[in-house]
Structure 1
Amino acid sequence: MKTLYLDAFSGISGDMFIGALLDLGIDFEHFQAELTKLHVHGYQLEKRRLAKNSIYGTSFDVVLNHEKDRGFVESAAHHHDVRHLDDIRTLIASSDLSDKIKKQSIDVFTEIARAEAVVHQLPVEEVHFHEVGALDSIVDIVGSFIALDLLGVDEVRASELSDGSGFIQVAHGQMPVPVPAVMQMRVGTHIPIRQRTDIRTELITPTGMGLVKEMVAAFGPVPEHDLLLKTGYGFGKRETGTFNALRALLFETKKSGQTVRTDHDSVLLIEANLDDQSGESLAFAMDQLIEAGALDVFFTPIYMKKNRPSCKLSVLCIPEEREVFVDLLLKHTSTIGVRYQLMQRSIMKRCFKTIDTKFGAIRIKVARSGSVVRETAEYDDCAQAARRHRVSLSEVEREVQRQLILTENQ
C-alpha cells in the first residue's frame, strides 16, 4: 500500500498540497487533462519548480483571467460572481470526474460551508462567499483529489498542523488567526494544531483544513518502519519569515489488506515473557510491531516464577523478517531474550474490493475457501468515515451491509 504523509510544519492550503504532489512526480499535463473534466473555464494553471532556503520544491497557482474576490460575503446584492453551496455541488456533480472524486470534493465544500454558516449565524443555503466558491478554490479542491488519485495513494496521514497567530485582513475586516472557519472545523475533532506565535499570519486556510478533515486518517510522527519512496515540497505564497512549505512523504506501507492467493503458508512465531513492564509501554511496543508489518501481535496473561502476574507477547511475521522483529522486541520491551518457531498454517484466500456508500468509499475484505465466502468491511475505513461524517460506527457498518446486499441482488 502507498501511504502519503503530510509534514505540515508550516500549515496547509490547497495550492501547497497540489504543489507537493506535483513535486512527488505527478505528470502535469495528465493533471491538467483530468481537470478539464470539470468543464469550467477562465483560468490557467501555473507550475514552477524553484528553490527556497536552498531547498527545491514546486509552486502551484491557479491564475484567473479576471481579478478574483476574496472573503466571506453576507449579501450578494452587489456581486454577480458569488456562489452558493448548491451551485458548487451542481457544477461538480455534472462533471466527467469519477464518482469518488466528485463525492470527496463536494464533502470538502459542504464542510467549509457549514463552518462559515456557524461563524456568521446564517443557514447554509444563505451563505454567499467568494473565497471558497471562487474558481481558484474550486480548482484547488477538485485538483487535490485528482492529484491524490493520480499518485495512487491508499491512505493519508499527517503530523500535527501548525498555524500562525495575530490577525489577517480580508474583504470585510480583520480576522483572528486561526481564522474562524478553520477553528469551527476543528470543533468535535481531535485534529492537533500547534499555534506558532513567531509567525503573524495565517498558515492553515479553510480549504487546507477541509482537505485535512476529508483525507487524513491519522495524526502522528513520521512512520518509522515504512519504506520511504519519495519526498516533495509544495511552496506557500505567504512570506512568513520562515520556510513556508508543505512536505509530502510517499511511503510503501506494509499493512493487513494484502491479497492472498494461497490457502497455506509458513509463519514465524516469536514470543517473550514479560513481568516488569508497564501497560503503556507494552501498548507502545505493540504499535511499533504492527507498524513494522507484523502479521499479528497479541498478549496472553500468564503467571511466572514467584507467582508474578505477567504477560506473554506473541508476534507472527513472515520467516524472512525474523531479525527485524527480534530487534524490535529487544528494543521496545524489557526482555533479554526471545524464542521463536516456524509454524505452518491453513488460510482462506482473500482479496479486496471497494464499494461506494453515502459515507464514501469503503474497502471490503473478501475471504474464500471452497464454497465459503465472507465479506467484511475494513474497520479503519469505517472508523474514518464515522469521524468525518460525525455518525456512529454502527451506522456506517449498517450502510456497508445494505450496499453489499444490494450488490448481491443485482
Structure 2
Amino acid sequence: MVLIIDPQNSGIAGNMLGGALIDLGCNPKEMKSVMEYMAIDFGGVNVRIKKVNKAGIESTFLEVETINNKSHNNHSISYKELLSKLNEIEEIELKKNNSVFGNNLINDVFDISRKVFKRIAISESKIHGKTLEDVKFHEVGAADAVADVFGAVFGFCKLGFNEKNEKVIGLPIAVGGGSIESVHGRIPVPAPVTLDILSKNNISSFGGPVNTEIATPTGVALYVELCDEFRDFQPTIKVNKVSYGAGKKDFDFPNVLRLIKAKSSIKSQSIDVIETNIDHLSGESIGYLFEKLMDEGARDVVIIPVIMKKNRPGNIIKVISKKEDTDNLVSVLFKETGTLGIRVSQDLHRGVANVRFISLEIDFDGQIEPINFKIGATGDEIISYRPEFEDIKKIAIKHNISLNKAFEIANFKINEYLSNL
C-alpha cells in the first residue's frame, strides 16, 4: 500500500495530520488517550475531536487546548530535558501490560517521535547559534506540540504505515506567506525553523495561498520524518480511501490536509543519474571504466557516442546509481577519466516492474532441459517474459539447433504455462 501526504492546498500542522489519520480509520478515543497522557508531564492538554466542514470539505478537527501554560516543561524545556522525560515515560510504558500505546507499538512510536523532535532541535540550534544540548524549545517542548507529535505518530503506526512494505510519499507543501508574531518578535513565513527543515531535505514548497502561516515546524518535521520519498506530482495509483484533517483557521477555501491511501500498480525507486562527457579515452579504457563502475555499485552504465566541440567524436558516460553509492561512483569517474566536470541529477524516480523467476523443464528431442524465465508484471498484469539467454545458448549448442529455434520452443512453452495460470 501507499500513503500520500498532500499539503498542497493548506499546508500541514501536527493536529491536521492527527485529524486526517483519525479520518482515515485510527480510533479517535485511542489517539485522544495517547495525546492527553503524553502531555501530562508538560502541563497537560484537553483534546476534543469533532467533524467539521471546511469550505465544503467534511473533515476531522483535532482541537488541542493547553491546561497549564505556566509549567516549566511547557515553554522553557531544553531539548536535553525533553529527551530525558520521553525516555523516562517510555521505560514506564514498556513495563506495563496494558500500555495506552498498545504494547507492540511503544518502541516505534517513541523512536519516530524522538526523531521528529531531533529534526526541530537541530534546526533550532542552527538558527539560534546554540549547541543541541543548550537549545530551548519555546513551542516544540510545549504540551500541545508533544501531544500533536505523539498523536500523529501513534495514528501513523496504528494504521500500519510504519511497516517496511508500506511507502509514504509527500507532495509539495504550501507554506503561506507574510509574517507572524513569535517569542522572538515578528518573523517571516515560513518560520526560520520550518525553512531550515525544508532546505535540509530538498523538499518542494511554495508560498501562499494566504497571508499567514499554514506550515508549522512541528507539521513539517513530522512530514519529513514519516515520508519515504518526495514528489512534485501524484504517482500512478489505485485509490483506496481519502481522508481530511482540518486546520484551525477558516479561509475562503478548504483548510484541510489530505491523505490518500492507495495501491500502487507500479513500484518506484529513487535514483541518481551521473553524467560526464569524454573525448580522450581509448575504446579499451572505456571498456575498463564500464566494468569498474559496475563493480563499484552502479545499477547501470550507458555509453552514448556524440560529436563534441571542434567536431571531435566523444562519449557521454551515463551512470544510474543508488543514492548511497553516488559519492563513490563520482570519485571513480574523476579518478579513472580525469574529467574536469561531472553532472549529478539527484532523486529521480523510475518505475520498476515486479520481477520473479521461474524454472520450466522443457523437452528438446526427448531430453528434458531446465530453462529459467524472467517474468515482469505491473500489479496483476504480466507485461514481459523471456528465457535466460545463457540457458538458451547452452541448449542450442548441446542439441545442435539454431538459437532462434531454441527461443521458439522455449517461448511456446512459457506461453502455454502462463495461459494455464
> TM-score interval w.r.t. the shorter chain?
0.5 to 0.7
Amino acid at match of 2:227: V
1:173 pairs, out of 185, 188, 212, with: 185
1:184 pairs, out of 190, 196, 207, with: 196
Given the two structures, how large is their TM-score scaled by the length of structure 2?
0.58
Show the 5 A alignment for 1:386-405.
Answer: none
With over 3 angstroms needed to count, the CA separation of the structure-2 counterparts of 1:219 and 1:145, relative to structure 1, is same
* Residue in 2 that maps onto 1:20: 20
Where structure 2 has 5 or more consecutive residues not aligned to the other structure, the ranges are 94-100, 269-317, 319-347, 357-373, 385-410, 416-421
* Residue in 2 that maps onto 1:252: 263
Amino acid at match of 1:6: I
Amino acid at match of 1:47: I
Work out the CA distance in 1 between the residues paired with 2:258 and 2:167.
Answer: 16
Note if contact 1:201-1:240 (Cα within 8 Å) is conserved in structure 2.
no
Amino acid at match of 2:196: Q
1:84 pairs, out of 78, 87, 95, with: 78
Show the 5 A alignment for 1:118-157.
Answer: 118-153=126-161, 154-157=166-169
2:225 pairs, out of 214, 221, 226, with: 214
Which structure is larger by alpha-carbon Rg, 1 or 2?
Answer: 2
Where structure 1 has 5 or more consecutive residues not aligned to the other structure, the ranges are 70-75, 258-279, 281-285, 297-313, 327-339, 345-410
Work out the CA distance in 1 between the residues paired with 2:35 and 2:351.
Answer: 41
The answer on 1:238 being equivalent to 2:246 is no
Work out the CA distance in 2 between the residues paired with 1:34 and 1:319.
Answer: 37
Amino acid at match of 1:28: P
With over 3 angstroms needed to count, the CA separation of the structure-2 counterparts of 1:30 and 1:4, relative to structure 1, is same
Percent identity of equivalent pairs: 25
Q: 1:322-347 CA deviation, whole Å, 9 max, x = no partner?
A: 4xx59xxxxxxxxxxxxx87749xxx
1:56 pairs, out of 48, 58, 70, with: 58
Show the 5 A alignment for 1:7-406.
Answer: 7-9=6-8, 10-35=10-35, 38=38, 40=40, 42-67=44-69, 81-95=75-89, 96=93, 98-153=106-161, 154-196=166-208, 198-220=209-231, 221-224=233-236, 226-253=237-264, 290=352, 294-295=354-355, 316-317=376-377, 321-322=381-382, 325=383, 343=414
Amino acid at match of 1:54: G
Q: 1:213-250 CA deviation, whole Å, 9 max, x = no partner?
A: 211111222232x3311111111113444321100011
Query: Cα distance, 1:94 vs. partner?
Result: 2.1
* Residue in 2 that maps onto 1:399: none
Q: 1:237-285 CA deviation, whole Å, 9 max, x = no partner?
A: 134443211000111345779xxxxxxxxxxxxxxxxxxxxxx9xxxxx
What is the RMSD computed on CA atoms of the aligned residues? 3.5
Work out the CA distance in 1 between the residues paired with 2:113 and 2:74.
Answer: 24
Note if contact 2:52-2:61 (Cα within 8 Å) is conserved in structure 1.
yes
Work out the CA distance in 2 between the residues paired with 1:294 and 1:146.
Answer: 31
